[in-house]
Structure formats: structure tokens, C-alpha cells
């Protein structure tokens, strides 16, 4: 069978680098593009020698021209700290990035997948969140550049399908963690683990009663790949995440226990518009993709702790 040429935008990031690895293992030719805004060559250095891997430094807000059969569009800053640093750029990346990969799919005939997010549900007033839930999102708050950018990208994907018959897939990713999370992008799992390993205070924003549901990266990437290779009439949007819900305070206590740290909890101000809860309804993914997560939270946390231990040499 002919090797597929697969383009991964944002391929030098946390999820993108794991995806590139998986695609290579499955026998594809991988073209990874990234402008290294939040990603790093360190995440993909081990792939540089691979004969079927290619890296192009490219900003997704500019059009790109690459022969390919499949496109995964992951390029976008993903942590609140980074996407709020330059909100105008975040909006441009979301919208123009989507437009550019869709145009590329139109000229090449490639199938194109958008990495959307549970943030399209905003601060949800139902739990768990099914794909039919339309969300509770502020259009003007500090998270809007990301939330509304991703919502606009989803709209564009479905309009390209209706207007031009494009072969699209949309995945809504819930909080994902694992090795190669950036140490300083402010996301909760990396923050807590690094703080615990260094014996620093664990910074809990608000009371810590807000909840999230954390998916291990291998499960997420398997779900993304299953969606890409699903029958053409199944477009999503589909939730991929782990429904095992935990409060942020409980997460802090779990990390302290697993690392054997002496760190103490320090309560800080809750960021504006911080969602109170998030938990995916994954019935659709189970039914249409035969996918469900297999890595339990403590197991995934241990693997992630080992990674950060190696990184900071302790």
C-alpha cells in the first residue's frame, strides 16, 4: 500500500510530537510544521534522523503548499498563559490557520482534521458535556481569543464541508497531560508536578473545588488517529477525553502523595472566567470510533512525574 503523506501543523508541540511519533510508527511519511511559538525542537529532535520525517518551520497564519493525503491542524498556543499573552495572534492563528489548512485540503484533496477543544463549551452548565451542548462562552473575556477562535475554526470547517464538500474531521480535546508538556506554560498538571518535585508551594487558584477530567496523551493521540481514519461520513465534532473527573485540590493532594513531596498548598486568586467543571461525555467516541481511554489518572501521573524528574534531574 502507498505510504500516506501526513501533514501535522503544530507538530513540535506537546500533542503534536506524540502524534508525529505515532504516525511514523504506523508507517506514514510525516511532514511536521511549526513556528516554535510554544513548541520546541527538543520535542522532535529524536525524529530528525527518521527517513520518513521532515520538519518545516512555518507559521500557519500564512498559506502553505505541501503535497499530502491527510492534515492534522494542531498549531495554536493551548495554555491560558500562552494564548492570553498575544490574544490577537491567538485569534489569527485559530482562524487563519484553519482557513489555510482548509484551502490546502481543497487543492490537494486531503482529509483534514481540526484540533478543537472542550473550551468551546466554556463554563458549562451541564455535566458531563455531550457534543450537542452549545456551550456557555464569554465572547469578550480574556479566554475568548482561544475559545471563540476555536469555535470560529469549527464553523469554518463545517462551512467548507457544506460549500465545497471537503473531507473534514473535528475533535474536541479535553485536558490532556503527559511527558513533553512544557515545564513553564502554566498548565495545572505540569505546574503541580514541578512544584512538588522542587518542594515549592503548590499554587491552587481559587478554592480548588473546580474540576477537570485529565486524559493521558497516548489515549488522546489514539483517539485522534481513530477519528482521522474513520468513515468519511463521520465528521464529528467528537469529544476525546477521560471522564474520570477530579477537583483541582484533590489533584494537588494526589501529586503530593505520588511524589512524596513536602510541598504545601497555597491558595491564589481564581483567574477570570475559569470554568467550574469539565467532563466529557464520550458515548459518541465509543460508538463511532470504538475508542475509550485506558490509562488511569494515577498511572499517567506516575509516567509524567518520571518524565519531569528526568528533566529537572531530581
Shortest spacing between CB 260 and ligand NAD, in angstroms: 26
The DSSP secondary-structure symbol of 141 reads S
In the bound state with ligand NAD, the residue whose beta carbon lies nearer, of 6 and 263, is 6
- What is the nearest approach in angstroms of ligand NAD to the Cβ of residue 261? 23
Known catalytic residue at 133: no
Catalytic position from the list 121, 146, 160, 177: 146
At closest approach, how far in Å is the CB of 280 from ligand UDP? 12
- For the chain, the 3-state helix, strand and coil shares in percent, each to the nearest 5, are 40, 20, 40
In this structure, what C-alpha cell is assigned to residue 40? 520546541
38 binds ligand UDP (CB under 6 A): no
Q: Least distance from C-beta 130 to ligand UDP, angstroms?
A: 18
The sign of the dihedral angle between the CA atoms of 288, 289, 293, 294 is positive
Q: Considering the complex, state which of residue 30 and residue 251 has its C-beta at the smaller distance from ligand UDP.
A: 251
Nearest CA among 180, 182, 167, 171 for reference residue 21: 180
For cell 477530567, name the residue: 213
CA distance 45 to 37: 16
Q: 141 and 86 in contact (C-beta within 8 Å)? A: no
Round to whole Å and give the CA distance between 16 and 2.
Answer: 23
Residue 124 preceded by cis peptide, ω within 30: no
**Closer residue to ligand UDP, CB minimum distance, 16 or 124:** 124
CA-wise closest residue to 210 among 271, 275, 118: 275
Residue 205 partner contact from ligand UDP, ligand NAD, none using kind-dependent CB cut-offs of 5 to 8 Å: ligand UDP
Secondary structure letter of residue 86 according to DSSP = S
- Out of 40, 138, 203, 292, the only residue in the binding site for ligand UDP (CB under 6 A) is 203
Binding site for ligand NAD (CB under 6 A): 10, 12-16, 34-39, 59-61, 74-78, 93, 115, 117, 173, 175-176, 182
Binding mask 242-261 for ligand UDP (x = CB under 6 A): ------x-------------
Which residue of 68, 188, 238, 284 would you call a contact of ligand UDP, by CB under 6 A?
A: 188
Rounded distance between C-alpha atoms, residue 178 and residue 176, angstroms: 7
Report the distance separating Cα 243 and Cα 209, nearest Å.
17
76 binds, among ligand NAD, ligand UDP, none (CB under 5 to 8 A by kind): ligand NAD
Q: Which does 127 bind (CB under 5 to 8 A by kind): ligand UDP, ligand NAD, none?
A: none
- Site pattern 79..118 for ligand UDP (x: CB under 6 A): xx--------------------------------------
Least separation in angstroms between residue 291's CB and ligand UDP is: 21
**If contact means CB under 5 to 8 A according to the sort of partner, which of ligand UDP, ligand NAD, none does residue 211 touch?**
none
Alpha carbon distance 255, 199 (integer Å): 12
Helix (H, G, I), strand (E, B) or coil at 112: strand
Residue 3: closest CA among 56, 39, 51: 51
Residues that bind ligand UDP (CB under 6 A): 79-80, 175, 186-188, 191, 203-205, 210, 212, 248, 271, 274
> Catalytic positions, please?
146
Amino acid at each position: 500500500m502507498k505510504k500516506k503523506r501526513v501533514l501535522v501543523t503544530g507538530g513540535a508541540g506537546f500533542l503534536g510530537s506524540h502524534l508525529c511519533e505515532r504516525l511514523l510508527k504506523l508507517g506514514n511519511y510525516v511532514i511536521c510544521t511549526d513556528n516554535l511559538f510554544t513548541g520546541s525542537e527538543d520535542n522532535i529532535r529524536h525524529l530528525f534522523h527518521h527517513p520518513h520525517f521532515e520538519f518545516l518551520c512555518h507559521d500557519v497564519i500564512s498559506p502553505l503548499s505541501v503535497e499530502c493525503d491527510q492534515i492534522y491542524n494542531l498549531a495554536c498556543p493551548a495554555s491560558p498563559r500562552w494564548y492570553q499573552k498575544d490574544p490577537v495572534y491567538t485569534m489569527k492563528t485559530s482562524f487563519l490557520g484553519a482557513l489555510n489548512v482548509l484551502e490546502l485540503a481543497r487543492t490537494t484533496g486531503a482529509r483534514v482534521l481540526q484540533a478543537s477543544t472542550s473550551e468551546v463549551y466554556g463554563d458549562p452548565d451541564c455535566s458531563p458535556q455531550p457534543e450537542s451542548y452549545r456551550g456557555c462562552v464569554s465572547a469578550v473575556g480574556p479566554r475568548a481569543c482561544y475559545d471563540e477562535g476555536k469555535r470560529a475554526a469549527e464553523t469554518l470547517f463545517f462551512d467548507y464541508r457544506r460549500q465545497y464538500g471537503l473531507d473534514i474531521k473535528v475533535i474536541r480535546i479535553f485536558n490532556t497531560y503527559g511527558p513533553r508538556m512544557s515545564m513553564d506554560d502554566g498548565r495545572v498538571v505540569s505546574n503541580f508536578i514541578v512544584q512538588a518535585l522542587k518542594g515549592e508551594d503548590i499554587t491552587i487558584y481559587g478554592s480548588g473545588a473546580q474540576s477537570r477530567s485529565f486524559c493521558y496523551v497516548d489515549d488522546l493521540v489514539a483517539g485522534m488517529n481513530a477519528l482521522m481514519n474513520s468513515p468519511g461520513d463521520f465528521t464529528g465534532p467528537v469529544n476525546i477525553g477521560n471522564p474520570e473527573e477530579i477537583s483541582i485540590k484533590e489533584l494537588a493532594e494526589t501529586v503530593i502523595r505520588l511524589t512524596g513531596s513536602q510541598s504545601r498548598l497555597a491558595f491564589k486568586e481564581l483567574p477570570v472566567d475559569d470554568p467550574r467543571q469539565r467532563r466529557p461525555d464520550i458515548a459518541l467516541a465509543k460508538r463511532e470510533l470504538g475508542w475509550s481511554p485506558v490509562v488511569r489518572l494515577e498511572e499517567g501521573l506516575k509516567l509524567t512525574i518520571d518524565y519531569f524528574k528526568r528533566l529537572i534531574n531530581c
